[in-house]
Structure 1
Amino acid sequence: MEKKVLKNKLLLFILSIVMSIPVAYAQETTYDEKTKQELIDLSKQKWQWMADKKIESLDELFHQESVFVHMGATMNKEQELNTIRSGGIQYKHTEIQETSIRFVGNTAIVLNKIRLTAIVGGNEVVNPFMVTEVYVPIEGKWKLGSLSFTRLLGN
């Protein structure tokens, strides 16, 4: 009888430890205004680097596994850098109209409502977009994991 009680207590103890693990890992990190401003500044800088074709700076910012979703294509890091380098898409001017930041754990999601002037296929185009940028902290630096353009209607 004592063995059974001891066994049940041990099982209950182990179960309580196992059940508490997800709670410990599920807690979200909170970021201060300084961190939010750092991400806003980084996002703005990224647009300028894209316009200036600063491939080395973009290469450092983009995570190796990053993805880029455009209106007509999805690209990996190398494809995106090559497109910028070659002028396949030439970012002329990005007017940032609104910016918001949300955090999921340590992942930062930056939403930018923009009006983008670019040269695509030799033609200048102006499009309103909601751009989703996903940043993750790696070794003390924010790395861009995803950049997705969603064209807005009626703007």
Structure 2
Amino acid sequence: MVTPKSLPLGILLFFVLSMLNAQPHKAQKVLAEEARRFEAMTRADTSTLRPMLADELVYVHSNALKENKLEHLAAIASRKLVYEKMERQEASVRFYGKTALVNGVVKVRGILNGNAFDLRLLYLAVYRKKRDNWVLTRWQSTKTS
């Protein structure tokens, strides 16, 4: 039986359970957007990639090369940087309002300035909610075994 005293507790419980249930869906959406970005990078599809990157993007590669949005897109478009394969092996997502932090491991194979690479990277990606999409604002990675 619902009493006036138990009603606020029931409402609070409903909201808490709703939020917990929404988190996995939000995380799946961020990770799906990240997978789309990885796919666009391997296809050198800069027209798909462009809106996925924030104008204020800072992209720090595992070799300490730092790029902004225009530099990153230009490197991919010119084939100076060729991503042949990007395979996420694990990832976890944390939300802070309209910001999502993704910590993960990705296996990357490609060519930079004519030199082949095949790396396993730990990464931190920062996404910001923009309308209904998650756009990448920061990327930083480091090599791991």
Normalised by the length of structure 1, the TM-score is 0.75
For 2:73 and 2:28, locate their aligned partners in 1 and report how far apart those are by CA, in whole Å. Answer: 26
Tell me which residue corresponds to 1:87. Answer: 79
Please show how residues 6-155 of structure 1 align to structure 2 within 5 Å. Answer: 31-70=22-61, 71-152=63-144, 155=145
CA drift of 1:142 comes to 1.3
Deviation (angstroms), 1:60:
0.6
Q: Percent identity?
A: 25
1:44 & 1:108 partners in 2: Cα distance? 15
Question: What is the one-letter code of the residue matched to 1:132?
Answer: L
> Shift of residue 59 of structure 1?
0.7
The amino acid across from 1:81 in the alignment is: L
Instruction: Give the superposition deviation at 1:83.
Output: 0.5
- The CA distance in 2 between the partners of 1:48 and 1:140, in whole Å, is 20
CA distance in 2, matches of 1:37, 1:102: 12
Q: Deviations over 1:52-86 (max 9, x none)?
A: 01101111110111110011311110000001101
- The AA in structure 2 aligned to 1:44 is A
In the alignment, which residue of structure 1 is the partner of 2:3? none
Unmatched tracts of structure 1, length 5 or more? 1-28
Q: How far is 1:134 from its partner?
A: 0.6
Structure 2 unaligned blocks of 5 or more:
1-18
Larger radius of gyration, structure 1 or 2?
1
Alpha-carbon deviation of 1:131? 1.6
| CA-atom RMSD in angstroms | 1.5
| 2:64 alignment partner, SS class | coil
Deviation at 1:43, TM superposition (A): 0.8
Tell me which amino acid in the other structure corresponds to 1:78. Answer: L
Q: Which amino acid aligns with 1:66?
A: L
- What's the CA shift string for 1:127-146, capped at 9, x where partnerless? 11012111011223211101
Give, in angstroms, the shift of residue 112 of structure 1.
2.0
